[in-house]
Amino acid sequence: MKNKEIKTILESQKVKFNIKGHTEYSKKDDGSWDYLPKIFHTNKYDDKPVGSISDKYGNGMNIDKFAPTSFTVFTFDLLGKKTRGRIKYEDVTLIL
% the chain with pLDDT above 90: 84
Q: Is the pLDDT of residue 46 over 80?
A: no
CA pair distance 63, 60, nearest whole angstrom = 10
Higher pLDDT, 46 or 62: 62
pTM for this entry:
0.86
Band of the pLDDT at 18, cuts 50, 70, 90?
Answer: very high
